[in-house]
Chain A
Amino acid sequence: MGLDFFEPVYLAKLAGLLVPAVGETIYMVAAATLLAYILGMPLGVFLVVSSPGHILPNPWVEKTLGTVINILRSAPFIILMVALIPITRALVGTSIGTTAAIFPLVISTAPFVARIVETSLKEVPEGVIEAAMSMGASPWQIIIKVLLPEARASLIMGTAITTISVVGYTAMAGTVGGGGLGDLAIQYGYNRFRTDIMLITIAVLVVIVQAIQSLGTAMAKKMSHS
């Protein structure tokens, strides 16, 4: 079979491969990013508020949390994925497939999210936090009503960066049977020397990444009033 894009059979076959792969990728990215934020966002908040001079300074919490995050972040995703296989199997029932890939994705993304969130929240000027304290705001009110809303544009940009990096990780997960576009590229593009499928997969990934970035930038711009 050649590279004839106008051949209906070719197109149908291509769609038959691409559509489910894109679906799997989106599923993995969305689920992993969401779960990573559920885990990583509170960690990021803890990192910031426990830092010296912040609203709940606690060197012990800050140190411990920071160290755990650094250790997780220094393990390459591919190693983490393999190392986590027993836990994944215990949790999901299997270590192969799209759903199974989500667990290591979350574990590797959550610490990244914590740092990204930390960076965003540290941008909120000290004076604004101080003003809230002078009005008698509690630490919880400061987090909910000051830190998160004031940093929202930056948090959205961070989410776009995170999501894009998860797209990259899912492609890696694909290489070990995680499904999605990465899987497709390896199985067809690499193992079966189908350069056309390799190229199309890359093109689709580029489009996905662009779309996420543009959406993130547009939303951040809309939310920014400074």
Chain B
Amino acid sequence: MIEIENLSKTYSSRHGCTKALENVSLVIPRGAVYGIIGLSGAGKSTLVRCLNLLEQPTGGRILVGGQDLTKLSGKALRQARQKIGMIFQHFNLLQSRTVAENIAFPLEIAKLSKAEIQSRVTELLPLVGLAEKANAYPAELSGGQKQRVGIARALALKPEVLLCDEATSALDPQTTFSILSLLREINITLGLTIVIITHEMKVIKEICTHVAVLHQSQIIETATVESVFTNPQSPIAQEFVASVFPNELPVELLQELSEKDQTEIIRIRFLGENATQPVISDLIRGSEVKVNILYGSIDHLRSTLFGSLILELQGSPEQLANAHTYLKSRGLEVEVVKNGA
């Protein structure tokens, strides 16, 4: 749906140049909920603003639905933008317009007839759960309601792509969750491709299908959400994963454990089916190691179960090897945290 090829953006001002993006390439499949995560200043906003040419790239191409946006200007660009919805961290609603009038805004811009505008607005209000608030002004709404207006407004022209720049960063956790659920519902029911920019891994965990890690102006890792959570490659990605699934054991505990002989601390992460199967009892039975559970958590990625366990295994080298073999045979990723022997 979206192809980004060697995208670069350098801001130049009197004080010098800032390289905000360097040779960024990404392919965002149709229907994906594609998360782009990075620390503050990584270039995330610049990247998403290049996707509808709010920011003019210094180099590279951006293809949306096969059309190269960087070749467009004037009227053609404005028409292309109508097919790309966008929502913002601070909502950016028109204060002088009611909820219904805000949703009507893009329809007016596209010069639809009064009757068409009316019927589209009537369709959209209940979709975002704001039928009762049609005549309220933004100042009378909560943050979550404002973002719902932003979503309805972005969907008004039936876009194929929705860009979200830190869309939940100004909201409390509960509201964040409800907005993310709404986005997921839209993704499923309308088949919309969604690009989500965030610095919070919990957003990725909640709704994304794919993730790209942006670090210091470059993409350093791209993967499906399942593989980034079970097997993060870059240190930054590992940190992000740890931010939602904390699994660092206290240093004292590690120290103490490492002094023991014939002991190993391992971490296993399991997904979907595996999460519901009796792995531990089978492990003990199959390899005759002693198992001590140090840490365990179970959560979900989108709607798949996702678990993480830190185990202390005690046994002879053969028994430990058997344990590894068994776990691998179950398709589990095993990471050795500490090897005591």
A residues adjacent to B (C-beta < 8 A): 125, 127-128, 130-138, 141, 145-146, 149-150, 152, 223, 225-226
Contact = CB atoms under 8 A, between A and B. Distances in A.
B341 interface: no
Interface of B: 52, 54, 75, 77-82, 84-86, 88, 90, 92-97, 105-106, 108-110, 137-139, 153, 157, 163
Contacts of B82: 135-136
Given A133-B54, A135-B105, A136-B79, A128 B94 contact: yes
Contact of B88 (A131, A141, A223): A131
Contacts of A135: 81-82, 86, 105-106, 109, 153, 157
B78 A138 contact: yes
A134 to B, nearest CB: 4
B81 A136 contact: yes
Contacts of A132: 105, 109
Contacts of B108: 145
Closest 7 CB pairs of A and B: A131-B92, A136-B78, A136-B81, A225-B137, A127-B92, A135-B106, A136-B82
29 contacts: A127-B88, A127-B90, A127-B92, A128-B93, A128-B94, A128-B95, A130-B92, A132-B105, A132-B109, A134-B81, A134-B84, A134-B86, A134-B163, A135-B81, A135-B86, A135-B105, A135-B106, A135-B109, A136-B77, A136-B78, A136-B82, A136-B106, A136-B110, A141-B109, A149-B94, A152-B96, A225-B137, A225-B138, A226-B138
Given A134-B81, A136-B78, A225-B138, 16 more contacts: A127-B90, A127-B92, A128-B95, A133-B54, A134-B52, A136-B79, A136-B82, A136-B110, A138-B75, A145-B105, A145-B108, A145-B109, A146-B94, A149-B96, A152-B96, A226-B139
B81 A225 contact: no
Contacts of B85: 134
Contacts of B153: 131, 135
B173 to A, nearest CB: 24
Nearest to B107: A135
Contacts of A133: 54, 81
Contacts of B90: 127
Contact of A225 (B79, B80, B96, B163): B96
Given A127-B90, A132-B109, A141-B109, A223 B96 contact: yes
Contacts of A146: 94
A125 B92 CA distance: 8
A136 B96 contact: no
B265 to A, nearest CB: 49
B96 A137 contact: no
A150 B93 CA distance: 10
A133 B90 CA distance: 16
B48 to A, nearest CB: 10
A150 B95 contact: yes
Contacts of B52: 134
A223 B137 CA distance: 12
Nearest to B95: A226
A150 B92 contact: no
Nearest to A134: B86
B142 to A, nearest CB: 15
A152 B96 CA distance: 8
Contacts of B79: 136
A15 B99 CA distance: 53
A132 B86 CA distance: 10
A155 to B, nearest CB: 11
A137 B86 contact: no
Contacts of A128: 92-95
Nearest to B111: A141
A131 B78 contact: no
B333 to A, nearest CB: 41
Contacts of A134: 52, 54, 81, 84-86, 163
Given A130-B54, A134-B52, A134-B86, A150 B94 contact: yes
B101 to A, nearest CB: 10
Nearest to A133: B54
A225 B96 CA distance: 6
A134 B86 CA distance: 7
A150 B92 CA distance: 12
A146 B82 CA distance: 17
Contacts of B163: 134
A72 B90 CA distance: 40
A220 to B, nearest CB: 12
